[in-house]
Structure 1
Amino acid sequence: MKRKSRESMGTLQQITVCITICAMVSPCSTFSLTNCTISSSQKDIKTQPKVLCYKMNFFTIPRVPNNTWILDISFNSFAQIQIEDLNILLNLQYLNVSNNKISKIQDGAFGSLFNLTDLNLASNRLNAVSNGMLRGLTNLLVLRLDRNYISVIKESAFSTLHSLQVLNLSKNHLRHIDDVKPVLASLYLEELYIGSNYFNVFNSSELSTKPLSLKRLDLSNNRFAAFQLTNNIFPTLNHLDLSYCGHNGTMAWNVTEKSYLASVKTLYFMDVNMSIQTADNVLQSFNNTLNKIRLNGNVRLNKTSLLLSVCSPMLRVLRLIATKIKHLTNHMFDPCSELSELDLGGNEISNLSQSMFRGFKQLKKLQLQINKLTRVTNSFQILTSLEFIDLSRNHIHKLSCNDFANLTQVKTLYLYSNKISSIRSCLFKDLKSLEVLRLGTNNLLKIDDVFSNGPYFLKELQLSYNKLSLIKSHTFGNLPQLNNLSLEDNQISEIEGYAFGGLENLTSLFLSSNKITGKTLTTHPNVFSGMPNLQNLDLFANSISFAYDKLKYPLFKDLKNLRELSLYSQRRGIGQLPSNLLEGLSSLQMFYIGNTNLNQLNPNLFNFTPQLWFLDLSKNALREDDAIPPELFHPIPNLTKLIISRTQLRSLNFLLGANLNKLSTLRASGNEIDSVNETLIKSLPRLAVLDLQNNTFTCDCNNAFFIDWAKKNESTQVYYLSRYTCSYPRTLRGTSLAEFNTDSCTFNWDYICFVCSSILVILTLLLSFIWNFLRYQVVYTYYLFLAFLYDSRRNQSGQTFQYDAFISYNTLDEAWVMEELIPKLEGEQGWRLCLHHRDFEPGRPIIDNIVDGIYSSRKTICLITRNYLKSNWCSSEVQVASFRLFDEQKDVLILVFLEDIPTHQLSPYHRLRKLVKKRTYIRWPKPGEDNKIFWQKLKMALETKDSHKSENCIL
């Protein structure tokens, strides 16, 4: 029994392993997620999908592909995480569940996520970390638990997190430093953030008695009454944050050996709530080893005392942001002479002088942003090693030629957000190394000759948010190394030819939000000449429009290397796009032409742009069926992304003939599309992303294929399918398109086959029954019908009789007919007889000849013998004649028995037997009897012409 039990257990384990392996290699069957999107490159979209489900108001964790690599389900309403929620995501490496309402995580909920390296549980409602909550996360590197209500961490909660390097527990409810002790079970922990808790005392002995591997420790915003470091537990600590620490200006600081903090190179000491003496004690504890310190916001502390305490030959970076410094004294920074970076931003400094900075020998970066400076006045002349100057967001209104004298090493100069109205070219005479110049958000009216003397090595120039109206020819000609030029948000309305001439290395030109019109670009030819390497041209939000279908001088003919062009959002509408607008742009890859009030696109527009792969036509008026001709896309077979959102489109049928075999992304939201058919989908074989939100779909069978395809296909994700609603019919308006039942639109072939086979069986049985029991009745009915048709036609045409009598006989009795009947009736009495061997029309169907013969004769004479009774054709003749008898109610049928046939022998021939019972007949005399009476009676029968209704007309 034990052996069987073990075998069963082994089998169960094998099954479990198989299921696990299948879960690893088998992706989710559906590719279009309910309310999530898959954001990955085309290469990784199936093997390593990145699934985004944030801000969806989910209450439970959604089902996502099993092979998901990155999952973001933040900003939802989850209250808990169960084992079954994530246990199939074995490939998951990044999980963001922040900003939910999670108060409970079941032990082992992350147990199967052994590949997870980054877990974000911030901004939830967790109040404890249990022993099993993080079980199985053996490869986790980064864990965020900040902004929760955690007050308890169980002793072995972190025992399985052997690889953890970064842990954030800030903004929780931890009260004692030994509450953090369990996290130190992660032996490789390098960064620990425990700021903004409720620690009152920091005692190193309570945290650990052994050296830790921490390199970064954040203790900020804790109300420490005492800080005691009595053993060297931080031998590798590099970064320490003590910002906002202390309480009521008091804190006992006790570091028994300065060497305990000797490894700290960066100290954040911002806005501390402690006395000057305590602050001095803290700073003295670092034994002059600090390389970088932030003293931001320490308004209550004496700056001179702080600097004396902190500055040392080792200090390289000092930040004194927002400390309300108003005046810089001449010797203020003497202790900090070795600084390479000084940040004085956000203060109230209004005046500068050279003497303020004379102590600095190797200062490279000086930041004076957000102060009250009005002039520069050559204050930096002695700082010959400066490479970066930030004077942005001050009140500087004037610059003189000597303001930056001797600053030959400066590479970056920020002067944006001031009140500068003019600049002279001499300003840059010494800025020979300048590479980045930002002059945006000033009051510059013109820049005609500002750059006539360089700076020659300038690579980035920002002149946005000024009041420039004219760009003259070769304005930037002396900036040959310029790569990036920003002129957006000015008032530029005129650009002369070769205005950008000489910019051989320019790659990006931004002219958005100006007053550029079509006239601006066409008045002066060669507006965009002189920039052979330009790759990005932005003309967004201007007033460009065209009145002609073709330009006399193509605007962009010299921009052979341009890759991205934006004409998006022209204020007055662009009117129409000339057919040769893009002539010369043989390298163009991305074209933005949305929100320009376009209503028609010229089919030849892209004849000059064979490399185009991105096209944005959104927010236009392309309502008409021929607004986007399919031929438009033929010259751009590499198009992979097409945006046609909010263009009033009623159909996507223009794509059928577009040959877009490489299109992978189609965004057509906010239109009036009511259906998507199978042919359209099949015309886009590489479609990976389809966005059709906010369209006017019809909930009928026209969309049955699209609905089923969107739910089940594994190659194209339909963005937010569950949000698609029905607009028609009215009874279904507002309901979900995805919930429309398509079963009624699908033929049930099994049921149809059952019905068809049942009908076939019934018909077979019925036909068999008729053939065996009603065969003669059916044939008789058929002949009656033919006779009826013939009689109707004859009555309508008023046809007269061609013959006196139609002779119905069997060919075996033909001798009697030829020897007796014909000589007597035709030869002696002169009757016209219709005989089938003589008068039937060759080639016609026999039945047609019979019907014509009977209805073309006044009488029908049936010569009845035993041979006659056996003949099918004779039977047909009797049937047609009897139908005529009953139809016309006249004496048109004469029965002649050539043989004596007993009545019982007539029983199988019900039609003839019925006639014999109701009518008298003529009998051929027996041998030896006189036949004169026979011929006399036959003559009398033939001579009867009136409509006699008695059936016993011949006696």
Structure 2
Amino acid sequence: MYFIYLFSCCLLPTWVRFAPTAGYSLGSCVAHGSLNYTNRLKVLCYSEQLRLVPSNIPPNVTVLDISDNLISRIQLENFRNLTNLRVLNVSHNLISRVAEGAFKHLVNLQELNMARNKLSVLSENIFEGLGNLTVLQLGDNNIKSVESTAFRFLLSIRFVNLTTNELQHLNKVRPILKFPHLQQLHVGNNSLFTFQTEDLSDFPLALKVLDLSWNPLTKLNVTTDILPKLESLDLSYSGTNGSVEWYIRDGFLLRDVKKLSLNGTNISEEVLFSVLQCLNSSLEVLTMSNLKHLKVKAFLKLTCQMLPVLRVFNLQGNSLGSLGDGLKPCSLLRDLDLSRNKLVQLADFVFKNMSQLHALNLSYNQLNAVPVAVRIITSLETLDLSYNSISELKSSDFAKMTMLKELYLVNNLIRDINGSAFQDLINLRSLRLGKNHIWMITYPMFLSLRKLVVLDLKSNQLSSLKNGTFQNLNSLKLLNLVDNQVSEIEEGAFQGLLNLTTLLLGSNKITGDILRTATLFDNFISYESTAKLKSPPFSLLKSLKTLSLNSQGHEGLLNLPSNFLEGLDSLIELHAGRLNINFLHPQTFNYTPKLSFLDISRNAIGNLTPQLFQPIPNLTEFILTQGRLQTLDFLIHANLTQVKILRAKGNELTVITESLIRSLPSVKYMDLRENSFSCDCDNSWFLKWALHDTYAQVIYMNTYLCKYPPNLRGMKLIDFKMDSCSVDLEFICFISSTTLVALTLLASFFYRFLRWQVVYAYYLFLAFLYDNRKKRRRPVQQYQYDAFVSYNTHDELWVLRELLPNLEQVQGWRLCLHHRDFEAGKPIIDNIVDSIYNSRKTICLISRHYLESEWCSREIQVASFRLFDEQKDVLFLVFLEDIPACQLSPYHRMRKLVKKRTYLKWPGHREETRMFWHKLNIALQTRGEADEENPLLSGLDTQD
């Protein structure tokens, strides 16, 4: 018993600890990562119209983004439990107040973004606890006042952004400048009128980047050596009407400045030269865009002469019509930006000395041809001539530019292209020719571009693709032909594209009849059935990785042939939305074993089979939005064990089963919005899984609404009360174990004290059933024997020597003996029952051996039941020896309780045997009526 109790106690915790496959939901937030890994969990709650900081954020989150909401204040308890948080973004809200100490528990926070709010004051203890903070974003607020001790907790700060506030004096941020790790300070677009180093600090600072742009500065004085490590200084759009008073006592004070931005600065030539002269030994990057009040062309030459180490020169937006020889001294330039000017033509020698120039940007000008000056820059790697008026490409335009890797000719007037124009571009990786007027590409157009990886021809006027057009582009991975007028594709047009991974041919005029080797969206492809095609369109594109078929014109694709994707052995991504298909053949994906992304959204598909997806076990993202699916149970046997993202928004789903969830062991994100959920116990397991566990996430769970039953329509699924559905495992286990123990105790008790009574009751019941069956089968009783003799084999000698001779031979009675009259092969219990009921009387020969016999006990039990049932004197006992009453079991005393008179005892003396046999003969002669009494037996041999 102790063992059973111990076993039940050990088993109970196992039942109670049962938990389903992991899953969790954060309402309006989306989590990236698992709750099981403290250094990876990211929670995104942006753009959800939240008015309060969510309270259900997991405590081990490391990145929290609640930006772009309607939060107006941060409470003391909002981040109390988020001690692992490293990045917090609360930008673009309405926060005007932060409770003091609200961040004190964020001891591991490294980045805090509070930009674009309505803060006006930085209070004394606002940053308490942020000793590990390195980045602080406070731009686009209304900060006017900063308490002197507000920054005292920021011991590790490296980056501070106070851009676009209402600060009027830099002494407001002076306390933060003393921290030894501060490297970047951005205070642009405030109301600062002066910048004087003597007012900021008495000792050198660690600042490397200082942004003072967009301030109405009137005075800028650098008189003390507090910026020895400054590398970047931004003064763009500062000052008003050229009234800035500049004073740099010694160029040595800015000795490490490598980057200077003076975009849009209203500065005189004299002051500009003075500033540049102070920086002449270190300045490498100079940005001077949009200098509308300065004659840029006039000081170009002098600038390059003054800055011998200049490497990057940005001159965009200065209305330059020509350059003359102003850039001639800039021989060490690596990057030159002349975009957004008014250049019509360039002198042939303008870039003559720039032997180290790698990038040249001439976009957004008025050039009508590729400048001859460009050809001589043999070191050029990137050339941008986009948004000009170039109408023709000549064979000599890019001659000898063998180092060129990127060429941009977007949005010009080019109609014809000659393959010879690119013949020297043997190292070209990217060629952008989009938004021109190209109407034909002839072979051999790209003969020398064997290293080309990206070819962009979108938004042109191409009407046909000829055989061999792209034959030599063996390295090409992306080909963009979107938004042309392609209506004909010759067989072999894409021959040779052995490494092509992305082919875009959307928004053309391609139909199913001409489709051979194209991937298309927004075209006019359609098929009448799913029957196999004789010539599958993609059979040659073995390396294609991305295929887009979305949004076909007219009535849509209608049907997808079963071998439509044949040949796409390397396909990874398939977009097949808005095709107006309602069926997918089970063999559709047999040809795409590497498929990992599948989008079949916005189709009228109502039923899918598991066999359809079994050939694509590597699928990781599956999109099924806005269809007509009523169940996702087809996924149970689809073998999609790698799916991490499942989107089934806007279907007709009512129930999500446990089997479905368990068939997707890798799923991390599920989007099931806008479905017809049933608020009943069928969804209770899904609801528990979605709300409480820790691996997968049902995103936007708080927006799921009930549609069934009608009385709960419109209620949120998360508000459904699951109390009536839940099974209290602890209670059930308690009841089960208690019942088991009780039954074990009872069984032990009955076995020890009431074993024979139970056995007696069992056989009594069997006899009852047998008797009823006999009565139905044989209404009129016909007896085969006068008496059935029940005895033990140890008493068999007495039966043969005494009983048989006297009753059968002398008296002529017909007796039934088990060793003689039982039917061979018949079950013993059936022989006993049949013999008793086929005899008028039953004689039980009682001895000590008889009482110990199991079969003898069964015989007397059956006879006793007959006695009770027929209410006749059909049973009498013969005691062959004296047996004390204490040794008689209860069922052996049954005859005494019913009729105490009818029993005989074998006499001990020989002379008394004649009376014994006479009494036994008289007993056999009686008919056994219920009220009958035998006077010869009455009062004799009774035993109370």
What range describes the TM-score normalised by the shorter chain of this pair?
0.7 to 0.9
Q: Work out whether 1:519 is the aligned partner of 2:513.
A: yes
Q: Work out whether 1:446 is the aligned partner of 2:440.
A: yes
Cα displacement string for residues 308-357 of structure 1 (whole angstroms, at most 9, x for unaligned residues): 89955347624352x6x5xx666x7665655667756556x5x83557x8
Corresponding residue of 2:272 = 283
Matches within 5 A, 1:924-935: none
Higher relative contact order (CA closer than 8 Å, sequence separation 6+): 2
Distance of 2:609 and 2:579 partners within structure 1: 18
Does structure 2 conserve the Cα–Cα contact (< 8 Å) formed by 1:639 and 1:660? yes
Corresponding residue of 1:54 = 46
- Cα distance change of structure 1 residues 788 and 706 upon mapping to structure 2, 3 Å threshold: closer
Given candidates 112, 120, 130, the residue that maps to 1:127 is: 120
Corresponding residue of 2:137 = 144
Distance of 1:400 and 1:121 partners within structure 2: 52
Q: What RMSD, in angstroms, separates the aligned Cα atoms of the two structures?
A: 5.6
Corresponding residue of 1:473 = 467
Deviates more, 1:485-494 or 1:281-290: 281-290
SS in 2 for 1:445: coil
Deviates more, 1:797-806 or 1:429-438: 429-438
Matches within 5 A, 1:66-145: 68-76=61-69, 77=71, 79-80=73-74, 82=76, 85=79, 89-90=83-84, 92-105=85-98, 116-130=109-123, 132-134=125-127, 137=130, 140-145=133-138
Does structure 1 conserve the Cα–Cα contact (< 8 Å) formed by 2:395 and 2:418? no
- Counterpart AA for 1:191: Q
Does structure 2 conserve the Cα–Cα contact (< 8 Å) formed by 1:377 and 1:403? no
- Cα distance change of structure 1 residues 601 and 136 upon mapping to structure 2, 3 Å threshold: same
Cα displacement string for residues 571-617 of structure 1 (whole angstroms, at most 9, x for unaligned residues): 45445555554444444444444444455555555555554444444
Does structure 2 conserve the Cα–Cα contact (< 8 Å) formed by 1:392 and 1:416? yes
Corresponding residue of 1:251 = 243
Deviates more, 1:553-562 or 1:686-695: 686-695
Question: How many Å apart are 1:159 and its aligned residue?
Answer: 4.7
- Counterpart AA for 1:286: V
Given candidates 139, 151, 175, the residue that maps to 2:168 is: 175
Corresponding residue of 2:941 = none
Distance of 1:940 and 1:843 partners within structure 2: 33
Matches within 5 A, 1:727-806: 734-737=715-718, 741=722, 744-745=726-727, 747-748=729-730, 749-757=732-740, 759-760=742-743, 763-764=746-747, 767=750, 771=754, 779=760, 783=764, 786=767, 789-790=770-771, 793-794=774-775, 796-799=777-780, 801-802=782-783, 805-806=786-787
- Cα distance change of structure 1 residues 692 and 45 upon mapping to structure 2, 3 Å threshold: farther
Cα displacement string for residues 834-890 of structure 1 (whole angstroms, at most 9, x for unaligned residues): 677865656767876676456546x6497999999999689658745644654xxxx
SS in 2 for 1:352: coil
Distance of 1:869 and 1:479 partners within structure 2: 106
Given candidates 314, 319, 324, the residue that maps to 2:315 is: 319
Q: Work out whether 1:463 is the aligned partner of 2:457.
A: yes
Distance of 1:652 and 1:493 partners within structure 2: 39
Distance of 2:820 and 2:397 partners within structure 1: 135
Deviates more, 1:279-288 or 1:672-681: 672-681
Corresponding residue of 2:484 = 490
- Cα distance change of structure 1 residues 94 and 820 upon mapping to structure 2, 3 Å threshold: closer
Distance of 1:449 and 1:71 partners within structure 2: 55
SS in 1 for 2:726: helix
Matches within 5 A, 1:34-53: 34-35=26-27, 36-39=29-32, 47-53=39-45
- Cα distance change of structure 1 residues 32 and 43 upon mapping to structure 2, 3 Å threshold: closer
Does structure 1 conserve the Cα–Cα contact (< 8 Å) formed by 2:501 and 2:545? no
- Counterpart AA for 2:510: I
Corresponding residue of 2:344 = 352
Corresponding residue of 1:534 = none
Does structure 1 conserve the Cα–Cα contact (< 8 Å) formed by 2:923 and 2:934? no
- Counterpart AA for 2:435: T
Corresponding residue of 2:541 = 559
- Cα distance change of structure 1 residues 798 and 144 upon mapping to structure 2, 3 Å threshold: closer
Tell me how many residue pairs correspond in the alignment.
872
Unaligned runs of 5+ residues in structure 1 are 1-28, 529-537
Distance of 1:476 and 1:849 partners within structure 2: 98
SS in 1 for 2:173: helix
Question: How many Å apart are 1:465 and its aligned residue?
Answer: 1.3
- Cα distance change of structure 1 residues 850 and 687 upon mapping to structure 2, 3 Å threshold: closer
Cα displacement string for residues 629-664 of structure 1 (whole angstroms, at most 9, x for unaligned residues): 35423xxx5554444455544555555555555555
Does structure 2 conserve the Cα–Cα contact (< 8 Å) formed by 1:99 and 1:124? yes
Matches within 5 A, 1:162-311: 163-247=156-240, 249=241, 251-255=243-247, 257=249, 259=251, 266-271=259-264, 279-280=268-269, 282-288=271-277, 289=280, 294=287, 296=289, 301=293, 303=295, 311=303
Question: How many Å apart are 1:80 and its aligned residue?
Answer: 2.0
Distance of 1:778 and 1:262 partners within structure 2: 110
Distance of 2:219 and 2:438 partners within structure 1: 56
Distance of 1:198 and 1:131 partners within structure 2: 23
Q: Identity of paired residues, percent?
A: 33
- Cα distance change of structure 1 residues 470 and 916 upon mapping to structure 2, 3 Å threshold: closer
Matches within 5 A, 1:874-885: 879=864, 882-883=867-868, 885=870
Distance of 1:936 and 1:354 partners within structure 2: 150
TM-score by length of 1: 0.73
TM-score by length of 2: 0.74
Distance of 1:411 and 1:457 partners within structure 2: 9
Matches within 5 A, 1:644-683: 644-646=624-626, 648-660=628-640, 662-672=642-652
Deviates more, 1:177-186 or 1:604-613: 604-613
SS in 2 for 1:520: coil
Distance of 2:918 and 2:103 partners within structure 1: 118
- Cα distance change of structure 1 residues 284 and 806 upon mapping to structure 2, 3 Å threshold: same
Does structure 2 conserve the Cα–Cα contact (< 8 Å) formed by 1:145 and 1:169? yes
- Cα distance change of structure 1 residues 874 and 239 upon mapping to structure 2, 3 Å threshold: closer
Distance of 1:842 and 1:84 partners within structure 2: 89
SS in 2 for 1:95: strand
- Cα distance change of structure 1 residues 777 and 475 upon mapping to structure 2, 3 Å threshold: closer
Distance of 1:142 and 1:117 partners within structure 2: 6
- Cα distance change of structure 1 residues 208 and 140 upon mapping to structure 2, 3 Å threshold: same
- Cα distance change of structure 1 residues 738 and 628 upon mapping to structure 2, 3 Å threshold: farther
- Counterpart AA for 2:733: D
Question: How many Å apart are 1:194 and its aligned residue?
Answer: 0.7
Unaligned runs of 5+ residues in structure 2 are 1-20, 937-944
- Counterpart AA for 1:34: L
Cα displacement string for residues 479-529 of structure 1 (whole angstroms, at most 9, x for unaligned residues): 78766532111121211133245667866543233222332234xxxx58x
- Cα distance change of structure 1 residues 201 and 552 upon mapping to structure 2, 3 Å threshold: same
- Cα distance change of structure 1 residues 539 and 845 upon mapping to structure 2, 3 Å threshold: closer
Corresponding residue of 2:939 = none
Question: How many Å apart are 1:169 and its aligned residue?
Answer: 0.8
